[in-house]
Amino acid sequence: MGKLLEICVDTVDGLDIAIANGADRIELCSALDLGGLTPSVGLMAYAAKKSVPIYAMIRPRDGNFCFNPCEKEVMLSEITAVHAAGLAGVVLGASCEDGSLDISLLQELCEYAQSLSLGTTLHRAFDLVPDTYSAIEQAVALKFERILTSGQQLKAIDGLELLEKINAKANGRIIIMPGSGVTSENARSIIQAANFNEIHASGREVIINQDQRSIDFGFAPPEIAQTSADKVRTLKQALMTL
């Protein structure tokens, strides 16, 4: 049967490519180059027509995960939009100044999302916490379904030691989903570190933008990262053998 593959996308084309090539679940975003922001209402409506579960990122801006009361109101409205679109869940995270989880804010966001029967994933704000074991207990108490983490390293392959410890601490009470820099070449090593059942990747490739006029006007960058059918497909194939 293999392991569950979640692919993060930020475009209509990326969504279609990911699903056609084996994604079992989608993390839907805008601006993946900034780590992912809340997707547009239109993109959510398009994604809702698909046959796989769609979890939408709830992140109103780039930068850190320390959100003020006004941003909280925006995030609550974004959760409402996710529910209205008919998506399966949301991806959340919020930090205090010291990097620990902002439990007060997360409790309000999680309780609201869960009251709408939306699933909840704790995103890589977890990778900034000073005490991972305490953060796991907090995530369990908040009824998150899973934690997306790279083991507090830039790439999951470099965080295997901590990922293994985190998974043992979770002890089946919450899913630990490795992500960041996951490819078909390293997925086996990451999965086998602690027999993880879910894994997260972007499956993107960088191409040269041939539209020089758009570049000149500042409408697009010289290089574009886009979802790769080959990368998603080969990753899925690798996971099917595990």
Distances, alpha carbon 192 to alpha carbons 160, 161, 238, in Å: 10, 12, 12
- b/e sequence 37-57, b meaning 16+ C-beta within 10 Å: bbbeeebbebbbebebebbbb
Domains of the chain from N-terminus onward: 4-240 (3.20.20.380)
Q: Above 80 in pLDDT, residue 2?
A: no
- Host H or E run for residue 92: strand 89-92
Q: Quick check: 242 pLDDT over 90?
A: no
Per the structure block, which two tokens stand in for 58? 């709830």
Which one-letter amino acid corresponds to residue 240?
Answer: M
Distances (CA, A) of 225 to 18, 28, 93, 126, 220: 14, 16, 24, 25, 11
This prediction has a pTM of: 0.95
pLDDT in tens, 114-160: 999 999 999 999 999 999 999 999 999 999 999 999 999 999 999 99
pLDDT of residue 86: 98
Spatial separation of the C-alpha atoms in residues 97 and 156, rounded to whole Å: 24
Nearest 5°: phi and psi at 227? -60, 130
